[in-house]
Amino acid sequence: MNEPGVTTRNEPRPNRADDEFDTEPLAITGPRRLELGTSAWVGIGILLLWLFVAFFGPALSPYDQGEMISYDSFSPMGETLLLGGDFIGRDVFSRLLFGARMTMGLALIATVLAFLGGIILGFTAAAAGEWVDQILSRINDAIMAFPSIMLALIVIASLGTSTSVLILTVCLIEATPVFRLARALGMDISVMDYVEVARARGESVWWIIRREIFPNTLAPLAAEFGLRYTYSILFISALSFLGLGVQPPQADWGAMVRENLMGLTYGSLAPLIPAAAIGSLTISINLIVDAFLALSNRDISEEMI
Amino acid sequence: MEAVLRIEHLWVEGRLPGNDYVPIVKDVDFTVRQGEVVALIGESGSGKTTISLAALGYARPGCRISKGRILMGDKNILELSNKEKRALRGRSTAYVAQSAAAAFNPAMTIDYQVTESPVLHGLMKRREASARAIEIYRRLDLPHPETLGRLYPHQVSGGQLQRLMVAMALSCNPNLLVLDEPTTALDVTTQIEVLTAIKEIIRQQNTAAIYVTHDLAVVAQIADRILVLFGGEVQEHGTTGQIVGHPSHPYTLKLMRAVRPVPKTTLSVSDSQKPEEPSAGQPLLRVKDLTAGYGRIKKKVVLRDVCVDVPPGTVVGVIGESGCGKSTLARVIAGLLPPISGEMSLAGHALHPKIKMRSKKELQRVQIVFQMPDVALNPRQRIRDILGRPLEFYMGLSSSHRKQRVHELLEMVELSSNLLPRYPGELSGGQKQRVNLARALAAEPDLILCDEVTSSLDTLVGAAVIDLLNNLQKQLNLAYMFISHDLSTVASFADTIVVLYAGRVVEQGPLQSVIAPPHHPYTRLLLSSIPELRPGWLEDVITSREAMTAISHAVEITDVGCPFFKRCAMAMTGICDLQNPPLRTPVSGHQIFCHRDIADLQKAASGL
């Protein structure tokens, strides 16, 4: 998105005619591109921390995720249990470290799949138009018409609870808005003259999607990816909270909130810690997305001038 | 006369990548008095827009006003706070931008947008402002001033919208009007309509104005004084009479040379004896009875029964105003829009209407070059890839051959090969248009469809592109279908001319027999609308009755009768509006579709 080559225009160019009144345009630019604000850096910091946890958490955790350490429910924080114990005496800290990989990983796989499907079908609808567009768009509308949690309940209830079913369900639900966005972006680009030229050259729809449309929609799609990833985390957490997501004894932040909910009445922090983890992760991603959106918008406003 | 604006020793700097500032306007000094129009003229990059914006106390992002004073009355507006500057803008200074279509919000009525500024500045109540707006509409000679405000921007024509933007600027009765290329994006005929309105309203209101343009012929009509700019510096400064009549600076002379002369309308002896063989051989492209339109279920017909032949190695100029179907014709030939009916053939072989059914060879032989270089090149592809793709696609060249050929192509369009790793955004408008052309040449076509290729470029750059096209045509024995609304450009190098009006061919034939003298009333209108580089031309044009009838109407597509009926000074009610005009052929190869006979048309032509 920010190739260094784009803004360097300093090297001298030979004049094409030796004419004293030939000019080259000056490259006047606004503020430089990769100037991210503090909030974006805060977001990046938090995200890096969680990524570190997701990669190395299980190796660093003092106990296994299923290991029962204490015979008490909701033991307070202390030497052995850094962040206290959960409802059956497992270590909340260890489960948080294990859960990071599960929560972030599942959401990432689901979002990537959703984007692959949504973008390919959306661009196809935009580039092919006519009946292809009609069929794809109406199917998409039909899926979107179901409330997402209801749809997930139906799919999981009929196919059973497993990680792959969970991923595919989230993928299906997240792919629908991606399809809409990709189709709208593709429609805008596909009427541009450079796409017309490619069409007149005889290029295939697939080539036009890959080489003409996709590179020009990267910025908004990247921003949408951040957003959709957050939704996926929340959605998987919500399903886990309902007992339809990640199954015990595996740790997942959403499931951890649900398991330990009754701890609230005993003044335990066990349900609040994973909730805070979900919150901080989603907020960090949103901060980054906002910063990139602002950057890409400024790109556009510069082009307008 | 009182000075409305004094700019003293103005320096503006722009920021380069890496935080270095370079001066883009250097020590500019001028005064605008009440009732006076000062024109800033120069090519793109000369700093004319930067200066005009600085007159409003504004610098674009990445620019800063570094030195100098801008005095409005006795206030230096550079010392005002942002709040005070805002109070000034719109109220005592107003700006008219190049593209009215982009300046109006399509979701609000015209009246709301025109009256917004006085209401916002607390000068008038909405009702008063609307009443005043109607008064301005009337003065700008807009149709139905009482009800016009209730319409939305898309419901009026381009020329009317441009005049409405002037109305918007005048709504607060400003002391200073800044007009930035207000007619550049318009047809020649519409340009006359807008120029006349602007000139008249400036005279009536006695406002001061800064007029920014690259077109000397336009400036000669409207300006009192001219500043010729190059590289941010004033090259020459004088009254319009001085600059146009006795230019002294070499750069001014260069600008004057780029103004294309109005094509000769009298037949010289050598021209009439020029052999006019309507080429006996097979045409390269033949278009027969082509009808095309848009819309899925109920098609809106935009082209009707069009027949055009393009012989190999010749230039066919297609002219007409916007909305006449010129670009549609190019799109149909390129296969981008399947026609409703009609046939096309390439070198004797039928050309399938759909692109998917054409062979690679057929696609390769016909290439299309679009009008706007900014949107014709993918901003995310390097020049190398843009030019390399047709080579790979049509010829299957390996990457090393491709590399060599891309260098040759850039050489052909007179560009340096260190542009290869760049993106289109880093090129100037003229460079982009050359790359655009090089991409078409890469396919080694027989025919290039050029859709308004010079219209978005300024005069000097456009002239250079035309020269290039001309040279390439001779070198490579190409055929062009050259589409333009500017007859002077087309006439400078076309062999035959097709005049399109409202989707129909009204006249076609060899260049000389079409324009010397012009027969069809529409051809005559187009010819007389080409701005001439002499003060007073505008007045001459609008006093002729012919132009007035023609300019008061927009292009309208009709099903019966002659499409030009409403705008034609020679129209015969009862015949022209009811029957399709018959074909007349004064000489072989020259077709005129008109109810008037040749003698009548020739008589009218000699009165021109």
* Nearest-angstrom CA–CA distance, A185 and A218: 10
Q: What are A70-76's contacts with CB under 8 Å, separation 24+? A: A73/A263, A73/A266, A74/A260, A74/A263, A74/A266, A74/A268, A74/A270, A76/A268
Which range of A41-50, A73-82, A292-301, B582-591 scores highest in mean pLDDT? It is A41-50
Res A19: pLDDT: 45
Task: Check pLDDT > 70 for residue B47.
Answer: yes
Which residue does chain A place closest to B413, by CA atoms? A16
Q: What is the pLDDT of residues B432-476, one digit of tens each?
A: 888 999 999 999 999 999 988 887 777 788 888 888 898 888 888
Q: Which of A101-105, B32-36, B546-550 has the lowest mean pLDDT?
A: B546-550
In angstroms, the separation between the Cα of residue B65 and the nearest Cα of chain A is 14
The interface predicted TM-score of the complex, written ipTM, equals 0.78
Q: Which of B335, B379, B381 sits opposite A200 (nearest CB)?
A: B335
Nearest CA in chain B to A130: B296
* Domain layout of chain A by residue ranges: 53-300
Asked whether the beta carbons of residue B376 and residue A193 sit closer than 8 angstroms, the reply is yes
A contacts of B230 (beta carbons < 8 Å): 21, 23
- What residues of chain B lie within 8 A of the CB of A193, using their CB? 370-372, 375-376
Mean pLDDT of the region B384-412: 89
Give the homologous superfamily in CATH for domain B285-500: P-loop containing nucleotide triphosphate hydrolases (3.40.50.300)
Element (H, E) at B251: helix B250-258
Confidence of residue B1 (pLDDT cuts 50, 70, 90): low
Give dist(CA A41, CA B203) in Å, integer.
58
Question: What pLDDT shows up at residue B44?
Answer: 76
What is the C-alpha separation between B5 and B230, in angstroms, rounded?
A: 22
Which residues in chain A have Cβ-Cβ distances shorter than 8 Å to B44? 25
Q: B367 falls in which pLDDT band (50, 70, 90)?
A: very high
A21 CB neighbours in chain B (<8 A) are 230, 250-251, 254
- Residues B94-105 pLDDT 10s: 888 877 777 888
| Lowest-confidence segment of A227-236, B412-421, B541-550, B562-571 by average pLDDT | B541-550
Q: What is the mean pLDDT of chain B?
A: 84
CATH code matching the domain that covers B3-258, chosen among 3.40.50.150, 3.40.50.300, 3.90.230.10, 3.40.30.10: 3.40.50.300
**Long-range contact pairs involving A127-132 (C-beta distance under 8 Å, separation at least 24):** A127/A186, A127/A190, A127/A205, A127/A208, A127/A209, A127/A213, A128/A205
More confident of the two residues B72 and A35: B72
Give pTM, 2 decimals: 0.78
Q: Hey, which residues 40-69 in chain B have their CB within 8 Å of chain A? A: 43-46, 60-63
Report the residue from B17, B254, B381 with minimal CB separation from A21. B254
pLDDT at A18: 37
**Cβ-nearest to A9 among B367, B426, B439:** B426
B335 touches A: beta carbon within 8 Å: yes
Tokens of B338: 């399947």
B291 or B62: which carries more pLDDT confidence?
B291
Residue A1 has what pLDDT?
39
Q: What is the pLDDT of residues B529-556, one digit of tens each?
A: 888 888 888 888 777 756 666 666 667 7
User: What per-residue confidence (pLDDT) applies to A298?
Assistant: 53
Nearest to B61 among A16, A30, A218 (CB): A30
pLDDT value of residue B553: 67
For B142-274, strand residue ranges (E) read 176-180, 208-213, 225-230, 233-239
CB B72: neighbour CB atoms within 10 A? 20
A53/chain B closest Cα distance in angstroms: 36
What secondary structure does DSSP assign to B360-428, as a single string?
Answer: HHHHHHEEEE-S-HHHHS-TTS-HHHHHHHHIIIII---HHHHHHHHHHHHHHTT--GGGTTS-GGGS-
Taking the CA of residue B402 and the nearest CA in chain A, the distance in Å comes to 17
Q: Is B599 on the interface with A (CB under 8 A)?
A: no
CATH superfamily label, A53-300: MetI-like (1.10.3720.10)
Q: For chain B, what are the domain ranges?
A: 3-258, 285-500, 517-608
Does B22 reach chain A within 8 Å, measured CB to CB? yes
pLDDT value of position B265: 63
The order of strands in the sheet holding B21-33 is: B21-33, B3-15, B63-72, B75-76
Residue A5 pLDDT class (50, 70, 90 cuts):
very low
Q: Tell me: the pLDDT tens digits for B477-510?
A: 899 999 988 888 888 888 999 999 888 899 999 9
Task: Using DSSP bridges, classify how beta strands B366-369 and B349-350 pair: parallel, antiparallel or unpaired.
Answer: unpaired
- The bridge status of strand B504-510 relative to strand B366-369 is unpaired
- DSSP lists the bridge partners of residue B505 as B500
What span, in angstroms and rounded, lies between the C-alpha atoms of B312 and B444? 14
Give me the mean pLDDT over the A64-89 stretch: 76
Q: How far apart are the first and last CA of chain B?
A: 40
Contacts (Cβ under 8 Å, ≥6 apart) of B74: none
- Are A9 and B17 a contacting pair at CB < 8 A? yes
Give the minimum alpha-carbon distance from B185 to chain A in angstroms, rounded to a whole number. 16
State how far the Cα of B439 lies from the Cα of B397, in Å rounded to an integer.
15
Q: How far apart are CA B112 and CA B133, in angstroms?
A: 10
- pLDDT, residue A35, reads 64
Q: Do B376 and A302 touch (CB under 8 A)?
A: no
- The residues facing B318 across adjacent strands are B483, B498
Residue B591's DSSP bridge partners are B508
> What residues of chain B lie within 8 A of the CB of A212, using their CB?
378
| pLDDT of B64 higher than 90 | no
- Give the model confidence (pLDDT) of B554-597 as tens digits: 677 777 788 888 888 788 888 888 888 888 888 878 888 888 88
Name which residue leads in pLDDT, B97 or A302. B97
Bin B313: left if φ > 0, else alpha if -120 < ψ < 50, else beta. Answer: left
**pLDDT, average across residues B381-396:** 90
Across the interface, do B428 and A24 touch by the CB < 8 Å criterion?
A: yes
B337 to chain A: closest CA residue: A200
Residue of B nearest to A2 (CA): B380
Q: DSSP secondary-structure letter at B351?
A: P
Q: Are B413 and B434 in contact (CB under 8 A)?
A: yes
Q: Which of A254, A250, A295, A248 is nearest to A277 (CA)?
A: A254
Interface of A with B (CB under 8 A): 3, 5-11, 13-14, 16-17, 20-21, 23-32, 192-194, 196-197, 199-203, 211-212, 215-216, 218, 301-303, 305
